Structure 1
Amino acid sequence: MDLKEIQLVGFKSFADKTSIRFEEGVTCIVGPNGCGKSNVADAVRWVLGEQSAKTLRGSNMQDVIFSGSEKRNPQSFCEVTLVFDNTKGLFKVDAAEVAMTRRLYRSGESKYLLNNQPSRLKDLVALFHGIGLGKEGYSIIGQGKVEQIMNARPEDRRLIFEEATGLMVFKSRKQEIERKIADSNDNLFIYRQRIDEAQRRLGPLGKQAEAAKEYNEYSESLKTYEANTYIYRYENAENEKSKFKKDIAVISDKIIDLNTAIERINRKLDDNREKINFADGKLTELNDKRVELSVGNERKDGERKLVQERIKTYRSQIEAATEMLAAAKTRIGEIDDEIALTGKKHAENVKRIAEIETQTEVLRSAIAALDKKIEVFEKLSDENRMNQLSSADDLSELKKNLGTLAARVEATKDRITELETAIARTNERKERLQSELAMVRKDMKSLKEFTSSGMREFEEKQEEAREMQLTINDFNQELFSANGQIASLKDNLEMYISLKNRFEGYKESVRRLLSVAKTNTEVGKHLHGALADIVATDQRYETAIETAIGGAMQNVVTPTADDARYLIEYLKRTGGGIVTFLPVASMRPRPDSREIRRALDERGAMGLATELVKYDDYYYNVISNLLGNTLVCDNIANATTIAKKYGNLFKIVTLDGDTIATGGSMTGGSRRKDTGSLLSNERKIQECKDNIAKKQKYIEKLKTAIAESEKARAEAEAAVDSLREKYQDANSEIAGLMQRETALTQQIAETENDAATYGEALNELRAKFEQLKSEEANSSLSEEQIALRRRDAETEMANQKSQCDTFKEERAEKSKLLRETEIEYTALCSAVEKYTETQERLQAEKEELVKRILDTEYEQTEAQTRLIGLEEEAQEKQLTEEERAAVAAIVEEIGALTAEKEKVNAEQLALEEEKTSLQETLTKQSDKRYKCEIEISKIDTNLENARLRMEEAYEMDYESCLSLRKEDFNIADATNMITVLKRKITNLGPVNPNAVEEYEYEKTHCDEMITQRDDLQKAIDDLQSALDEIRAEMLRIFNEGFDQINENFKVTFKELFGGGKAELQINYDEEGVDPLAAGVEIVACPPGKKLTKISLLSGGERALTAIAILFAILRSHPMPFCILDEIEAALDDANVDRFASYLKRFSEETQFIVITHRKPTMNQADSLFGVTMQEKGVSKIVSVKLAEVESRLGAGTVE
C-alpha cells in the first residue's frame, strides 16, 4: 500500500487547491525556511486524527484554515485528502483506492469522509491503527520525534514501541474496558447506596406493616363484634321498648287521676276567687268613698293650714319691708352727705389744676426765652474769642508779609494772564470734541435701530430654546421617576410571582401537592389548582369573600371525584398529608333563597357573594356550593338588622369580615393586618403588570415628547446661533462706537473740568489781587490800634459771660419750679378722677335704693291687701260635724267586709296546699314517664347510631351484618371486647394503611436492585477477566515485538555507526511498576567508546542512535509509508551520507516522504518536490522526477 496523493485546499499556507502525487521509493520535499514545507506533514498528521492544535503549531484548531494575506482574504474552511493504494487490501474497505478526507469550517464544524462518504473520526482512526498507522506512532517522524526518542523519559519512550508492535488497537480496547469497569463501579456504588437506603427504609416500613397488619386484624375483630352488637340491638330493641311502654301506660293512668283531682281543686279555688274578688270590689268602693270624704276633709283642713301659713308669711314680709325702708332711707341720707363732700373737693382740685396749667405754660415760655438768650450770648462770646485770636494772628502776619507784599502783587498779575490764555485753548478743544461726539452718536443710533428688531427676535428664540430645555428637563425627571417606579413595580411583581410559585400562604400538604403538580404531569392532569387560584374579586370585597369561603380557600379543585380519589391515594402513598378536594362534577350548587333576593334592597346590602366573585363558568357548582345563599353587607350594624328582619335564613358577611351564620350565631372582632392574602396575591400580580404596562406607555409618550422637544430646541438653538452670528459684527461695531463715545465724553468732561478749574483759579487770583492791593493800601495800620481792638474784645467777652451766667441761674430756678408744678398737677388729676368715680358710684347706689324703696312700698301694700283676704278664707275652711260622722260609718263597714275576706283566704290557702301536693305527685309521675320515654329514645338512638356506625365505617346494613353473626354472642362480652379493641387500635397510634403494600413494593424493589447489583458485579468480574486477558496478550505481543526490534537495533546501529554495539532494555525490575508501563532504556556504545546510556552521548550520536531505532522498527514492521520531517538535521555530513544510503535501502519496502535541507538526502531521492512562496503567505509546489532527469542528462549529473 502506498500513499498515492495528498490534496490540500485552504490548509495553512496552501490557499489554492494543491495536489501532490507520490511515487514509490524516496520522495524529498525541499524549500527555504518558512515556505510551508512542514505544513505537508501537519496535513497528513491532521487527517490521521490529530486533535491538538498545539501539535499542529497553532493556538486553536481554526488556525489551520488559511488566514489570508496582503492580497487574499481568509478562507472559510480547509480540507485535506489522503489517497491510498488499497490493491493489497490492507484497509478493510472494498475499494482499490481509499480516499480519506477531513474538512473544518471556521464555525468549528468538522467533517470526516471515507471515499466521499460521511464517516466518524473513530472509524478512520481504527482503520489506521489496524495497519500500524497513527498520529502517535512512527508513520510521521519529525525532528521533535527524534529528540523525543533521545530525551524522553523511559516510560514515554515506550509509546513508540507499542505503536510499532501493533498494540494501539489492544490499548484502545483496554482503555475501553477500563472505562466500562470504572463506569460499572460507579453504578455499583450507586446501587449499593440505593440498596442501603432501601434497607434503611424497610426497617421502619416493616414495623409500620406489622402495625398495619395488627390494625387490620383488630379492625376485622372490631367489625365482627360491632356487627353482632348491631344485630343484637336490632333484634332486642322491641322487647326492651315494650317493657318501658307498659310502665308508661300505668303511669299515664295515675297522671289522669291526679289531673282530675287538681281540676276539682281548681274549680273550688275559682269560686273562692270570685268571692274574694267581690269583697275586694266592695272594699275598693268603700275605700274610695272613705278616701274621697277623707281627702275632702283633709284637703279642706290642709287648705286652712296653708292659708294660715301664707298669712304668717305675708306678715313677716310686711315687717321686713318696713325695716328695709327705714334702712334704705338712712343710707340715702349718708350718700347725699358723701356726694356733697366729694363734690366740694372735686371743685377745689379742678380749680387748682387750671391754675397749675397756666403757671406751667408761663414757666415753659420763660425757660424757652432764657434758652434763646443764653444761646445768643454764647455765640457772641465765641465770636469775640475768635476775633481776639484773629487780632493776634493779624498782627504777627502783618509783620511777616509787609516785605513781600509787592512781589506777590506782580506774580499774581502774571498768573492771571496765563490762565486767560489756557481757558481760551480749552474752549477750542471742547468745541472740536463735541463735534466728533455728535457724529459718533449719530452712527451708533443708526446701528442700534438696525439691530433692535433682530435682537428682539434673538431673545425670543433664546427664550424658546430655554423653555424647550426646561421642558426636556421636566420630561427627563418624569422619565427617571417613571423608570424608578417601574423598577419598584418589577421588584414587587417578582416578589408576588415568587410567592405564588412557592405557594406561600398554603399549608404544607397543599403546597407540596401543588409543587409536585407543576413538574409531575401525571399528578398535574388530575387537578385544576387551589380554589384561591380560580376565583377573584374586587379589593374591597376580598376580606368578605375570604371570610365566607374560610378554610376552603386552600382546597384543591379537581375535575371529578375519581381525580380526587387518585390524589388522595397519591398523598397516602407519599406521606403528603391531608388535603381537601372539590370535585367539579360532584359538587352540588346551593341556590339563593327568595328571602336573600329580597334582602338585596335593604340598607347596607352590597350584593350576593356568588355575584361578587369572578370565575370561569366551569366552576359554577363549586362556587355556588361554597358561597350560595350568602349576602355581603357593608357593616355589622346593617347586617344585624337584615338578619333580624329575615329570621337568620341566610348567611351574612361584612366587608370587615364579621359573620352572621344561618341560625343566628355571630363571629367578629379585630383582625391582624397581614401583608397579603391568598385571594389578593393574584390581584396584586395583575395590578403590578397593569401598572407596569401603564408606566411603559407613559414612558413611550415621554420619550416621544422628549424627542419632539429636542427637535424644537435644536431648531431654536440653530436660529439663535444664526442670529448671534448675523448680528455679532453689528454689536461689535456698536461696542467700538460706544467706547469711542465714552472716550470723547470723558475728554469733553476733562476739558470742562479744566476750564472750570482755570476759571475758579482766575477768579481767586483776581480776588487775591484786589485783596493784595487793599492790604497794600491799608498797610499803614499800626500795632497800637490792633492791641486796642484786642482789649476791647476781652472786656466785651467778660460782660457777655457774666450776663450769660445770670440767665443760666434764672433758668435752673424756673426749671425746678416747673418740675414741682408738674408733679402736683399729676397728683391732682389722679384725685379728680378718683372723686369722679366715687360720685358716680354713690349716685348709682342712691338710684338703686330709691327704686328698691318704691318697689318695697308697693309690695307692702299688696301684702296687706292679701292678708285681709286670707284671714277671711281661713275662717271658711273649718270642718263640720256631719262631715266627720260620714267618714266614721264608712270605716265601720270596711272592717266587716275585711273579716269575711280573711275567712275565704284561709280556705283558699288550704286548697292551694292540697293542689301543690297533688302537683308534686303529678310531677314525679311525669318524670317517671319521661324517663321511660328517654329509655325508649335511647334504644332507638343507640340502634340508629349502630346502624350509622356500620354504614359509615363498614358500609354494611342489617342484612349484610348477618353474614358475620355469631351464635354464642354475649352482649356484655362484646361490649368489653369493643372497648379493648378500640384501646388497642388507639395504642397503635397513627397507622399507615398502605404500609403493607409499600413494604412489599419496597421489598420487591430492593430485591430487584440486589439482583441488578449482583449482575453488575458479575459483569465487572467478566470485564476484569477480559482486561487481564488483554493485558497478558499485550504483554506477550509487546515482548515478542520488542525483542525483534532490539535485535534489529543491534544490527542497524552497527551499520549506521560502522561498528560498535547497542541494545534496548525494559525496566521490569523496578518495584511497583506495571509491566505494561515499564520504561525503555537505550544503551549504546559507538566505536571506540564504552557502553553507556544514550543520554551520555553527543548530540549527533544520539540523533543517529534514534534514527537507528527507527530503522530497526521499520525492519521489524515495514510501514506502507513514512514521513520524515528533517530528522537528519542534527547529523554531520558523514553521518548524513550513511543515513541517506540506509534510507535508500529501506525504500524498497517502505515509501519514504522526506522533508529535508540536506543535499546527501536529496541525492537519494526518486522524486523531488519544491515548496515555494512566490506570493507572500501562499505556498506552491514544484515537482521533479529525478530518474527522468538522469535519463535525459546522464547518470551522476543531477548532483
Structure 2
Amino acid sequence: MKLKKIYAHGFKSFADPIQLTFDGGVVGIVGPNGSGKSNINDAIKWVLGEQSSKSLRGENMEDVIFGGSKKVTEMKKAIVTLTFDNSEGLVSLPHKTITITRELERGEGKNKYYINDELVRYRDIKDIVLESGISKSSLAIISQGTVSDIAEATPESRRLIFEEAAGVSKYKFRKTEALRKLEKTQESLNQIQVVIKELDRQLKPLRAQADKAKIYLEKARELKAIEVGVLVHNLNFYKEKIEEYNQQLEGVQETKDNLEAAISNSSDHLSQATRERLDIENEIQDTNSRIAKIEEGLSQLQIVFAQEEKHRELIISGDLKASSEQKKEALVASISSTKTTIDFYQKEANKLQSEINDKKEAISQLDKSVNDARITQAKEHKRISEAKTRISILEDHKKNKTNYFKGVKTITENSNIFKGYFGLVVDLLKIPKDYALAVEAVLGNTLQHIVVKDSDVAVQAINFLKQNDGGRATFIPIKSISEKVVRREHLMALSNVDGYLGLASELVSVDNPELEILSKFLLGNIIVTENIEAAKNIDALLSHRYMIVTLYGDIIRSGGVMTGGTPQADATLIGIDDQIQKLKDAIPEMDAIQKRLENQIMIDDSKRKTLQTLISELTVAKTKYETNLQNEEINFAKLKSQYEAISSEKLELKESTEVKTKIQALQSEKVRLSAQRDANSARVKILNQETFRLESEKSEYQKSLIDLEKAFSKVIRERDKASFITQENHKRLSEFYNMTLEVASAKYKFEGDIEAAEEKIAILKSDIKDLGNVNVDAIKEFEEISERFDELKNAENEIIETKVKIETAIKEMDSLIIEKMSSIINEINEEFNNVFRTMFGGGRAEVFYIDPSNPLESGIDIKAQPPGKSVNSLRLFSGGEKSLIAISLLFAILRARPLALCILDEVEAALDDANVVRYAEYLQKLKNKTQFLVITHRHGTMSRVDDLIGATMQTRGVTTFFSVKLSEAKKLVDNPPVTE
C-alpha cells in the first residue's frame, strides 16, 4: 500500500495548506534545521493514531494546532489527510484508494477521524494501521532516536521491533484487548458469583420455608375441601337432630307441664283442705271454749235468776223494800263497768288487727323469698343438666375415642391380640394437672403414639392395620429408643435462672419401671418454664439449642421459632379426665345448693303456714272481741235506757224477765254451738280423708314426673350435645374459613364415609400443627429469588463460556505469535548476517532469544562481530557502529518482511560519509518492495534518492515545501535562506 499524497493544514508549522505527492521509490525531504521538515513525520504519526502529545513533541494535543507567529495568526483547527494506493488489496477495505483524515479543533479537545471522508472511530483507523503494517510505532517510521533505541534498548524493549516485523502487533493488540476483556469478564464473574453465593445462601432456608409453605397450603386446601364439606354435613345433620329432639321435647314438655299442673293442683287442694281442717279444728276449739263460757254464764245467770226470783218474791211479799236511788246507783256502777269493758275490747281488737297486718307483710316477704329461691333453683337445675350433658359428651369422646385417629382406635380395641402392647403415651405418662398444657403442647399427636415392647410387635400391629383397613398409627418400640438429654453444663447454667421449673421428663412419671425410658425419650431434652419471658431468656442463654415450653403451652423451638397464644377450649387427650372429674365434682355442690334452696323453700312454706294459722287465730280472736264489743255496746245502751226509766217494780220484774231471757238465749246458743261443733268434727274427718287422698295423688304425680324427667333429661342432653356440636361447627366455619352455611353449602358437597373424613381431618390438622410456623410469603419470595438466581446462573454460564472462548482465543493467539516470531527470527537471521557483512565489509551478526524456553515473552538480543573485533556487548560499540548495526538490522527486517512504506528521519546522522553512502545505496536495493520517505541533511543520502523535496520557512514559523535538484538541495542544507 503506497503513500500517494499528504495534505496538511493548521498542523504544527503548516499554517499554509501543504500537499506532497509521491510516485514511489526513495524520496528525500531536505532542509535546514528548524525548517519543519520533521513535522511531516509527526503529521503521518498523528493521522495514524498517535495519542501521546509528548511523542509529537508537545505538552498537550492542542499543541499540534498552529499556534501563530508575528505575521500569521493562530489556527483554529488542524487537519491532515494521507492518501494511499490500495490497488494491491493490502487493506481489506473495498477501495483502491484510501484516504485517512484526522481533525482537531481548538477548545473542543475531541478528535475526528475519517476514512474516505466518512466519519469513523479511532479503532477503525487502528485496524487499518495494524492490517497495513505502517503503525505509528512500527518500523515504518524510524527516527534517529529509534535507531539508537534499537542498539541500546533492553532485550525486552527490542522484542517490539521483531513483533512489528513478524506482523504480530495486531495479535498482541488483540491479545491485550482480550486480556482486558478477560479481566473485566473475570471481574463480572466474581461480582455475579458473589451475588449468586448470597442468593444461594438465601435460597437454602427459603427453599425449606417455601416447601413447607407449599405443603401447608396444599394440606390447608385439602383440609378446607374436606372439613367445610363435613361441617356443612354436620350442621345439616345436627339441625335435623335438634328439630327431632325439639319435637320429642314438645310432647315431653306438655306431659311434664300437665304433671306439674296436677301436682300443683293437688298441692293447692291439699293446702286448702289442710287450711280448712285447721280452721275447723280451731273453730271447734273456739266453739268448745264458747260452750264452756256459755255453761259458766248459764250457771251464774241461773244463780242470779234464782236470787232475783227470791228477791222479787220478797218484794212482792213485802218483805223487801228498795228505793229508786239505790237502783240508780246500781245502774251507774253497771254502766261504768260496761264502758270499761267496751274500751278493753276495742283496744284488743285494734291490737290484733295490727298483728294480722304484720303477719301478712311477713307472708309477702316469704313469698318473694320462695320465688327467688325457685328461680335460683331453676338456674342450678339448668347448670346440673348442662354439666351432665357435658359429662355425657366427654365420656362419649372417651369411650368411643372420638379424638383418636382411626388406626389408634383399631389397635386399642384389639390390643389383647398383641403381646408386648403397653398402651398409648397419653395413658402411660402420669402428668400432673399443672403441667398438662405444657406436655400436650410439646407432644401433640405423639400422645396417641402406641408404646410396644419391640419392633416385632410394631410390625405385627402395622400389618394388622393394613389387612383390616384399620387406618394408620405410630408405634414406639421401647427396646429401640434411647433417652434424650440436656448437657450437664447447660443444666448447671439453668439452675439459677428465674422461671426455670425443670426438665419435662422430671415433671412426669410412669408406673411401669420398664417404661422409665419413655419419658426421657419423649421429654428428656425439653425445658419447662413458668412463662414466655423466662423461656426467651433461657433460649438466648443456651443459644437456641433446645425446645422450651411454658406452663401455658407456649413453645420456643430449637433455632428460635416461637409458637403460642390461647389454647383450644375443646377437651384434649390429657385434659378430658380432668374435665369430667371437675364437672362431676361440681355436680354435688350444685345438688347441695338445690337441696339447700329446697330446704329453705320448705322452711319458708312452713313459716308461711304458721303465719297463716296465726292470722286465722288472730282473726278469730279479733272477731270474738268485736262480737263481745258489740254485745257490750248493746248492754251499755240497755243500761242507759234502764237508768232513764226507773220503775221500781217494773224494773225489777223486767230484770228478772231479762235474766230468764238470757238464760234461754244462752241455752239456745249452747245447743247451736254444740251442733256446729259436731258438724265441724264430721267435716274434719272428711278433710282428713281428703288430705290422705290428695297426698297419695300428689305422690303418684311426683313419681310420674320423676320418671318423665329421666327421659326428659336424656333427650335434653342429646339435644344440648347436638347444639354444642352445631355451635362449634358454626364457629369453625365462620371464624376459620370466614364462610356462612349458605355459601359453604353452595360450594362444598360432602359424599363418603364421615368417620374416614373426620379421621383425615384430624390427620391434616395434626400435620399442619406439626409444620409449626409457616411463612406463606416464602413461596413468592423463593420464586423471585430463584428466578433471579437462575438468570444469574445463566449469565454466569455465559460469562464462563465467554471466558473460555477468550482464554482459547488467547492461547490460539499465543501459539500464532510464537509461530510467527520463530519464523521471523529465523528469516531475519538469514538476512541480518548478509546485510551486516555488506554494511561492515565482513564479520557476522545474529539475533537470539534471551530465554529460548519462553519464545512468547522472552527478550531478544543482538550479537554482532565486525571484522577484526570481538565485542560481547553492543554497549561497547561506538555511536556510529551502533547506528550501523541498527540500520543493518532494519534493512534485514525489510528484506525478510518488506513494508509498503518506510519513513526514515535522519537515521544516518551518526554515520560517517562512507557508511552514509553504503546506507543510501542499500535503500536503492530495497525500493522495489518498499516506498521510502527519507528526511535527511546528508549529501551522501541526497545524491542517491530518486526525488528531492525541499523544506524552508520563508515566513517565520510557517513551513513551505517545494521540489528541488540535488545542487539546490545541497545549497539549501549548507547555506539555509534567511527567514523573514
TM-score, normalised by the number of residues in structure 2: 0.52
Alignment counterpart, residue 969 of structure 1, candidates 751, 755, 767: 755
Matches of 2:357 and 2:231 in 1, distance apart?
64
Deviation by residue 1:47-78 (Cα, 9 ceiling, x = unmatched): 11111111111122111111222233322211
C-alpha contact 1:141 1:1127 (8 A) present in aligned 2: yes
**Match for 1:1053: what amino acid?**
F
Matches of 1:237 and 1:26 in 2, distance apart?
119
Post-superposition offset of 1:925? 3.9
Corresponding residue number in structure 1 for 2:14? 14
Matches of 1:144 and 1:187 in 2, distance apart?
43
Corresponding residue number in structure 2 for 1:207? 208
User: What does 1:767-778 correspond to in 2, within 5 Å?
Assistant: none
**3-state SS in 2 of match to 1:1134:** helix
User: What does 1:878-917 correspond to in 2, within 5 Å?
Assistant: 897-910=350-363, 912-913=365-366, 916-917=369-370
**Match for 1:1077: what amino acid?**
E
Alignment counterpart, residue 827 of structure 2, candidates 1030, 1041, 1044: 1044
Distance 1:1042 1:263, change over 3 A: farther
Matches of 1:956 and 1:18 in 2, distance apart?
101
Matches of 1:911 and 1:101 in 2, distance apart?
130
**3-state SS in 1 of match to 2:138:** coil
Corresponding residue number in structure 1 for 2:489? none
C-alpha contact 2:846 2:862 (8 A) present in aligned 1: yes
| Comparing 1021-1030 and 104-113, the one that deviates more | 1021-1030
Corresponding residue number in structure 2 for 1:1110? 890
**Match for 1:1136: what amino acid?**
V
Matches of 1:921 and 1:1175 in 2, distance apart?
139
**Match for 1:103: what amino acid?**
E
**3-state SS in 1 of match to 2:963:** strand
Matches of 2:218 and 2:94 in 1, distance apart?
76
User: What does 1:1030-1179 correspond to in 2, within 5 Å?
Assistant: 1030-1069=813-852, 1074-1179=854-959
C-alpha contact 2:942 2:969 (8 A) present in aligned 1: no
Corresponding residue number in structure 2 for 1:4? 4
C-alpha contact 1:258 1:922 (8 A) present in aligned 2: no
C-alpha contact 1:231 1:961 (8 A) present in aligned 2: no
Post-superposition offset of 1:7? 0.7
C-alpha contact 2:847 2:863 (8 A) present in aligned 1: yes
> Which blocks of at least 5 consecutive residues in structure 1 are unaligned?
268-885, 1191-1199
Post-superposition offset of 1:140? 0.7
Distance 1:250 1:919, change over 3 A: farther
User: What does 1:512-523 correspond to in 2, within 5 Å?
Assistant: none
C-alpha contact 1:3 1:22 (8 A) present in aligned 2: yes
Matches of 2:75 and 2:11 in 1, distance apart?
9
Distance 1:983 1:55, change over 3 A: same
**3-state SS in 2 of match to 1:1171:** strand
Matches of 2:262 and 2:382 in 1, distance apart?
15
C-alpha contact 1:258 1:918 (8 A) present in aligned 2: no
Post-superposition offset of 1:85? 2.6
Matches of 1:13 and 1:256 in 2, distance apart?
139
Matches of 2:832 and 2:742 in 1, distance apart?
100
Deviation by residue 1:433-483 (Cα, 9 ceiling, x = unmatched): xxxxxxxxxxxxxxxxxxxxxxxxxxxxxxxxxxxxxxxxxxxxxxxxxxx
The alignment status of 1:164 with 2:165, answered yes or no, reads yes
C-alpha contact 2:62 2:109 (8 A) present in aligned 1: yes
Corresponding residue number in structure 2 for 1:48? 48
Post-superposition offset of 1:1097? 1.0
The alignment status of 1:952 with 2:735, answered yes or no, reads no
Matches of 1:1138 and 1:186 in 2, distance apart?
55
Deviation by residue 1:361-383 (Cα, 9 ceiling, x = unmatched): xxxxxxxxxxxxxxxxxxxxxxx
C-alpha contact 2:48 2:135 (8 A) present in aligned 1: yes
User: What does 1:825-864 correspond to in 2, within 5 Å?
Assistant: none
Distance 1:263 1:1092, change over 3 A: farther
| Comparing 68-77 and 931-940, the one that deviates more | 931-940
Corresponding residue number in structure 2 for 1:35? 35
Corresponding residue number in structure 2 for 1:781? none
Distance 1:262 1:1042, change over 3 A: farther
Post-superposition offset of 1:11? 0.2
Post-superposition offset of 1:149? 0.5
Distance 1:956 1:203, change over 3 A: farther
**3-state SS in 1 of match to 2:49:** coil
Matches of 2:903 and 2:60 in 1, distance apart?
24
Matches of 2:267 and 2:775 in 1, distance apart?
67
Matches of 2:34 and 2:170 in 1, distance apart?
37
Deviation by residue 1:151-196 (Cα, 9 ceiling, x = unmatched): 2111111111111121123323333443444344334434433443
Corresponding residue number in structure 2 for 1:921? 374
Post-superposition offset of 1:1107? 0.9
Deviation by residue 1:963-1004 (Cα, 9 ceiling, x = unmatched): 334424289x66xx8677556535534323254565566556
C-alpha contact 1:251 1:928 (8 A) present in aligned 2: no
Corresponding residue number in structure 1 for 2:89? 89
Distance 1:1008 1:19, change over 3 A: closer
Deviation by residue 1:197-230 (Cα, 9 ceiling, x = unmatched): 3432332123213322442354245432453144
Matches of 2:258 and 2:739 in 1, distance apart?
44
**3-state SS in 1 of match to 2:755:** coil
The alignment status of 1:228 with 2:8, answered yes or no, reads no
**3-state SS in 2 of match to 1:1181:** strand
Matches of 1:1059 and 1:180 in 2, distance apart?
49
C-alpha contact 2:9 2:80 (8 A) present in aligned 1: yes
**Match for 1:174: what amino acid?**
K
User: What does 1:287-306 correspond to in 2, within 5 Å?
Assistant: none
Matches of 2:858 and 2:740 in 1, distance apart?
80
Deviation by residue 1:1127-1182 (Cα, 9 ceiling, x = unmatched): 12222333223322323333343222112222222222332222222222222223
Q: Kindly report the root-mean-square deviation, in angstroms, between the aligned alpha carbons of the 2 structures.
A: 4.0
Post-superposition offset of 1:241? 5.0
Matches of 1:261 and 1:33 in 2, distance apart?
156
C-alpha contact 2:30 2:969 (8 A) present in aligned 1: no
C-alpha contact 1:1166 1:1185 (8 A) present in aligned 2: no
C-alpha contact 2:849 2:855 (8 A) present in aligned 1: no
Distance 1:1130 1:206, change over 3 A: same
The alignment status of 1:993 with 2:787, answered yes or no, reads no
Matches of 2:128 and 2:139 in 1, distance apart?
16
Matches of 2:253 and 2:770 in 1, distance apart?
44
Post-superposition offset of 1:121? 2.7
**Match for 1:991: what amino acid?**
V
**Match for 2:155: what amino acid?**
P
C-alpha contact 1:103 1:110 (8 A) present in aligned 2: yes
**3-state SS in 1 of match to 2:157:** helix
Matches of 2:91 and 2:761 in 1, distance apart?
88
Matches of 2:268 and 2:886 in 1, distance apart?
146
Distance 1:184 1:76, change over 3 A: same
**Match for 2:15: what amino acid?**
A
C-alpha contact 1:1166 1:1187 (8 A) present in aligned 2: no
Deviation by residue 1:528-563 (Cα, 9 ceiling, x = unmatched): xxxxxxxxxxxxxxxxxxxxxxxxxxxxxxxxxxxx
Distance 1:1143 1:24, change over 3 A: same
Deviation by residue 1:663-702 (Cα, 9 ceiling, x = unmatched): xxxxxxxxxxxxxxxxxxxxxxxxxxxxxxxxxxxxxxxx
**Match for 1:46: what amino acid?**
W
> Which blocks of at least 5 consecutive residues in structure 2 are unaligned?
273-338, 387-715, 971-980
C-alpha contact 2:231 2:729 (8 A) present in aligned 1: no
**Match for 2:32: what amino acid?**
P
Distance 1:992 1:262, change over 3 A: farther
